[in-house]
Structure 1
Amino acid sequence: MKYKKIFVVSPPFYSHFNPLLVLAKSFQEQGAQVTVGCSIEFKEQILKENLAFYEIDISSNKNTGTSEDTVQPDTERMRLEEFFESTKKGAVETLITQSRHRKADMLYNPQELIDKIKTIDDSMDVDLYVVDILSYSVTLSLYFLGLPFVTFCPPHPNTIPRDGRYFNVPKSWPEAITVKEEDLKKLKQVSTQTQQEFTEVFNNIISENKSIKKIGNAFSLVSEIAVIYNYFDFNNIEKSEESPKELFIGNSFEAVALDEDWMEKIETKEQKIMISLGTFLSNRKDVLEKLILSARESHPDALLIVSAGSHAEELKKYSSPNTIIEGFIPQVALMQYVDTVVFHGGCNTLTEAMYHGKKMVILPFSSDQFNIAYDIEKNNLGRVLDPNNFSTEQLAQAFTELEESSKDNLLHWRNVSRERGADYAVKKILEIE
């Protein structure tokens, strides 16, 4: 085996850490010696999985549960508030805000990280690093030092802009999200500026090492060995035998048993609807409230299970024997028991729902969610609504259309997901001579 000692570097984001942890465990189960480098908040979880832990901070922004409850520096909290406000103004405003935040959020102390990773490499004799696509400073460090690494892409594959594409600009939009041409032009301008700024920072550092080439686009800098996508190969572009390998794994989570208390809550209900906007977007209490009331009106007898984040107490006035509202729900464990999932289009929830073949209604707010929503719509796997402008009637219609639509596509991709997973990619990488 060429890669015996593997160092997985995870950002301190709950939604990225979890799939990376599953990948790390898979490497270890296949016989590699694995260390996970992350901030101290995740130490206990890493050690619990019998993986080695190495403390390293690679981002000033953290999300270790629900974003509002995570202890943040004031500057990070202000940026989060600005982000949440932008989501109320629509897709383009949100993406522009995110693009402007990228440098502060994701280009964290690159010079310092180069020194830290050199220390790790000198002391641990690592054979292969695994780095999250959003950990740009880590990717830069590994490239600068000439160290072998694999890129892990938990969000949509278009997060890595291919030739002619813009960073943080959806390739296609779902029908429910209307975008004016002048707004799209503005978004592309901001994206181009962010891309140029990032690339300039990268190349200023790269120029200190005469043995490596400058790059054309910092957001497109990925491994020369393999890129692992926690996604589905909807466009049939996988390159599992070429270099770099492009591997679509379909899911990177582990099944969890539902406890007895929850089983008692759900077992008597024939139809179950889950509402979950993820760790960040559960901040949008107004959307959660509207979803609860609308779903309750169209499906009075169904069991609603709502993940409400820090707004749970405020929303519990809508609780009833048919409506469970909690700050945190055991989503992975619950997924196999629900019929329909109403969510924001985040990749983790998507892959969990697809693995279990669940009907989906997506309300995309930000980031890669528009690309994901478009793919689900295009492949007739779910329905898409505008989170800021949907009506009770539109949600009811989406539910009805899901009931009437063919289940064949969902069944096909459910089977693909179950055949893949982290083990699929790990085996392909460890086979490299």
Structure 2
Amino acid sequence: MKYKKIFFISPPFYSHFNPLLVLAKSFQEYGAEVTFGCSIEFKEKILKENLKFYEIDISTNKNIGKGENTIQPDTERIRLEEFFESTKKGAVETLITQSHHRKADMLYNPEELIDKIKLIDDSIDVDLYVVDILSYSVTLSLYFLGLPFITFCPPHPNTIPKEGKYFNVPKSWPEAITIKEEDLRMLKQVSTQTQREFTEVFNNIITENKSIKKISNAFSLVSEIAVIYNYFDFNNIEKNEEKPKEIFIGNSFKAVTLDEEWLEKIDTKEKIIMISLGTFLSNRKDVLEKLILLVREIYPSALLIVSAGSNVEKFKKYSSPNTIIEDFIPQIALMHYVDTVVFHGGCNTLTEAMYYGKEMVILPFSSDQFNIAYDVEKNKLGRVLDPNNFSKEELSKAFNDIEEISKDSLLYWRNTSRERGADYAAKKILEIE
């Protein structure tokens, strides 16, 4: 085995940490010695998986499960509020806001991180590092130090812009999201400026090491060995012979069983619908409330399960024997039992729903969610609505339409997901000579 000692470096974001942890466990089960670096808030979860923990902070912005309730510095809280407000104004406004925030969110003390990672490499005999695509300072540090690493991409593959493409600008848009040409031009201008600023920061540091080349796009800097996508190869582009390898795994989560208390709650012959807008976007209580009320009208007898995050108390008034509203739900364990998932287009929920072959209605707000929603729509795997502008009739039609979607297509990708997963990626990497 070429890579015996592997060091994972994870951002302190719940939605990225979890798939990375599952991937780390797969490497360990294939015989690698794994150390998992992350902030102290995740130590207990790492040790529970019998992995070695190494404390390292790579971001001041954190999300440990309920984004808006995580203790944050004031600057982070202000940016979070700006983000939530921008989602109410639409897709372009949200993406522009996110682009403006990128430098503060994702480029954390690169000089300090270079020293931290050099210390790790000097004290631990590491053969290979695994870094999340959004941990740009870590990627820069590993590149600067000339250390071997793998890039793990939990969001949509377009998060890594190809030649001629724009960072943070969807390649294609789902039909429900209408974009004006002038707004798209503005988004591309902001994206170009952010990309230029990031790349300039990278190259100013890179010039201190005369043995490495400057880069043309900081957002496209990835491993020379392999990129692992926690996604589906919808466009048949997986590369296993060339470098870097491109490995599509379809899921990186651990299947878990539902406890007895929940089994009793969902003991019904009626349709089961889950609403989950993710750890951050459950903050959009206006959308969440609208969905609860409309689903109750459209399917009066269905069992509705809602993940409400910190807004749970505001929605408890809607609770009933067939409306379960909790701050946190065991989403992965529940997924096996639900019929339909209404969600924001986050990659984790997508891979879970696809693994179990579930009907999907997507309301994309931000980031890679527009790309994901487009892929689902294009491949006839679900329906898409504008979260800021949908009616009861449109939601009802989406529910009706998904019953007519291509079952063959859903079955094909469900089977593909089950054949792959984190074990598939670990095996592919450890087979490298």
TM range (shorter): over 0.9
How far, CA to CA, are the matches of 2:216 and 2:403 in structure 1? 47
In the TM superposition, 1:223-242 aligns within 5 A as 223-242=223-242
How far off its partner does 1:149 sit? 0.0
Are residues 68 and 269 of structure 1, via their aligned partners in 2, closer, same or farther at CA, if it must alter by over 3 Å? farther
Aligned to 1:184: 184
Aligned to 1:423: 423
Aligned to 2:74: 74
The reply to whether residue 30 of structure 1 matches residue 68 of structure 2 is no
How far, CA to CA, are the matches of 2:251 and 2:67 in structure 1? 23
How far off its partner does 1:55 sit? 0.2
Gaps of 5+ in 1: none
How far, CA to CA, are the matches of 2:131 and 2:365 in structure 1? 26
In the TM superposition, 1:123-142 aligns within 5 A as 123-142=123-142
Range that drifts further, 312-321 or 153-162: 312-321
Aligned to 1:406: 406
How far off its partner does 1:167 sit? 0.2
How far, CA to CA, are the matches of 1:32 and 1:400 in structure 2? 48
How far off its partner does 1:406 sit? 2.8
Query: Which letter does structure 1 place at the counterpart of 2:356?
Result: H
Identity in percent: 85
SS at match of 2:314: helix
How far off its partner does 1:242 sit? 2.0
SS at match of 1:349: helix
How far, CA to CA, are the matches of 2:384 and 2:208 in structure 1? 48
How far, CA to CA, are the matches of 1:125 and 1:265 in structure 2? 50
Instruction: Check the 8 A contact 1:345/1:373 in 2, yes or no.
Output: yes
SS at match of 2:403: helix
How far off its partner does 1:69 sit? 1.2
How far, CA to CA, are the matches of 2:70 and 2:289 in structure 1? 23
How far off its partner does 1:405 sit? 2.6
Structure 1 residues 341-398: Cα deviation after superposition (integer angstroms, max 9, x where no partner): 0000000000000000000000000000000000000000000000000011110100
Query: Which letter does structure 1 place at the counterpart of 2:350?
Result: L
How far off its partner does 1:268 sit? 1.9
Aligned to 2:16: 16
Aligned to 1:283: 283
Aligned to 2:50: 50
Instruction: Check the 8 A contact 1:269/1:303 in 2, yes or no.
Output: no
How far off its partner does 1:241 sit? 2.5
How far, CA to CA, are the matches of 1:333 and 1:311 in structure 2? 22
How far off its partner does 1:240 sit? 1.7
How far, CA to CA, are the matches of 1:240 and 1:260 in structure 2? 43
In the TM superposition, 1:229-378 aligns within 5 A as 229-378=229-378
SS at match of 1:404: coil
Query: Which letter does structure 2 place at the counterpart of 1:326?
Result: E
Aligned to 1:381: 381
Aligned to 1:167: 167
**Cα RMSD for the two superposed structures:** 0.5
TM-score (norm 1): 1.00
How far, CA to CA, are the matches of 2:265 and 2:399 in structure 1? 23
Query: Which letter does structure 2 place at the counterpart of 1:367?
Result: S
How far off its partner does 1:125 sit? 1.2
How far off its partner does 1:270 sit? 2.2
How far, CA to CA, are the matches of 2:33 and 2:205 in structure 1? 31
SS at match of 1:34: strand
How far, CA to CA, are the matches of 1:35 and 1:370 in structure 2? 34
How far, CA to CA, are the matches of 1:349 and 1:269 in structure 2? 24
How far off its partner does 1:423 sit? 0.8
TM-score (norm 2): 1.00
How far, CA to CA, are the matches of 1:267 and 1:172 in structure 2? 40
Structure 1 residues 245-265: Cα deviation after superposition (integer angstroms, max 9, x where no partner): 000000000011101010001
**Number of aligned residue pairs:** 433
How far, CA to CA, are the matches of 1:363 and 1:90 in structure 2? 12
Query: Which letter does structure 2 place at the counterpart of 1:51?
Result: L
How far, CA to CA, are the matches of 1:183 and 1:89 in structure 2? 12
How far, CA to CA, are the matches of 2:153 and 2:392 in structure 1? 35
Range that drifts further, 87-96 or 402-411: 402-411
How far, CA to CA, are the matches of 1:95 and 1:269 in structure 2? 42
SS at match of 1:337: coil
How far, CA to CA, are the matches of 2:404 and 2:33 in structure 1? 49
Structure 1 residues 387-431: Cα deviation after superposition (integer angstroms, max 9, x where no partner): 000011110100001112331110000000000001111111101
How far off its partner does 1:243 sit? 1.3
Query: Which letter does structure 2 place at the counterpart of 1:295?
Result: V
In the TM superposition, 1:47-126 aligns within 5 A as 47-126=47-126
How far, CA to CA, are the matches of 1:71 and 1:378 in structure 2? 39
How far, CA to CA, are the matches of 1:240 and 1:425 in structure 2? 11
How far, CA to CA, are the matches of 1:359 and 1:211 in structure 2? 52
How far off its partner does 1:45 sit? 0.4
How far off its partner does 1:322 sit? 1.0
How far, CA to CA, are the matches of 2:426 and 2:47 in structure 1? 21
